[in-house]
Amino acid sequence: MKSTKRPPQFITPGVIASSLREPLHRVLNVLRTRHHITESARAGTLRLYHPDVIAMVRHELAAIDARRCRNGVANG
Residues 15-40 as b/e (b if ≥16 CB within 10 A, e otherwise) read ebbeebeeeeebbeebbeeeeebeee
Rounded CA-CA distance 36/14 in Å is 19
Rounded CA-CA distance 31/7 in Å is 24
What is residue 73's predicted lDDT score, i.e. its pLDDT? 57
The arithmetic mean of pLDDT across residues 4-26, rounded, is 93
pLDDT in tens, 23-67: 999 999 999 999 999 999 999 999 999 999 999 999 999 999 998
pLDDT at 76 over 60: no
What is residue 1's predicted lDDT score, i.e. its pLDDT? 62
What is residue 60's predicted lDDT score, i.e. its pLDDT? 97
Rounded CA-CA distance 76/63 in Å is 20
